[in-house]
Amino acid sequence: SDKVGGTWVYDPRFEAEDLLGLDPNRSIVHSSLYSSLRTNLPRPLMSFSDFSFEDKFYGDPRMFPGHEEVQKFLEHFAEKFGVSEVIRFNSE
């Protein structure tokens, strides 16, 4: 991926040609995210000790954040602590 977030980077595309994911050269890798996914952990448990999930409002006040909010949270964390500078994107 070209974004911070790893598992939390949502890609709505799917493998139309290779539904079982057998082709190692396929262009799309299956994701376990789906558009309405929410975490199974409340906001306080999604926080880091020095960066609270609750300090910022990411668009949805419910206790269990959606994947888009988690993505924004991780991007803000990486920006604040300079993590993006040492990440190699688009690699395995």
pTM of the model: 0.76
Beta bridge partners of 51: 48
**What is the chain's alpha carbon radius of gyration, rounded to the nearest angstrom?**
15
Q: Which structural domain range is residue 73 located in?
A: 6-86
Q: What is the pLDDT of residue 22?
A: 75
Please tell me which residue, 37 or 11, carries the higher pLDDT value.
37
Is the residue at 1 inside a domain?
Answer: no
Flag whether 92 is in a domain: no
Distance in angstroms (rounded) separating the CA atoms of residues 9 and 3: 7
pLDDT band at 24 (very low <50, low <70, confident <90, very high): confident
**Contact (CB, 8 A) for 70 and 5:** yes
Q: How far lies 54's CA from each of 11, 59, 79, in Å?
A: 26, 11, 17
Query: Does residue 41 form part of some domain?
Result: yes
Q: What is the pLDDT of residues 49-86, one digit of tens each?
A: 888 887 676 667 788 999 999 999 999 999 999 988 89
CB distance 32 to 39 below 8 Å: no
Provide the residue type at 39 as one letter: T
- Banded pLDDT at 15 (limits 50, 70, 90): low
Establish if 91 belongs to a structural domain: no
What is the number of structural domains in the chain?
Answer: 1
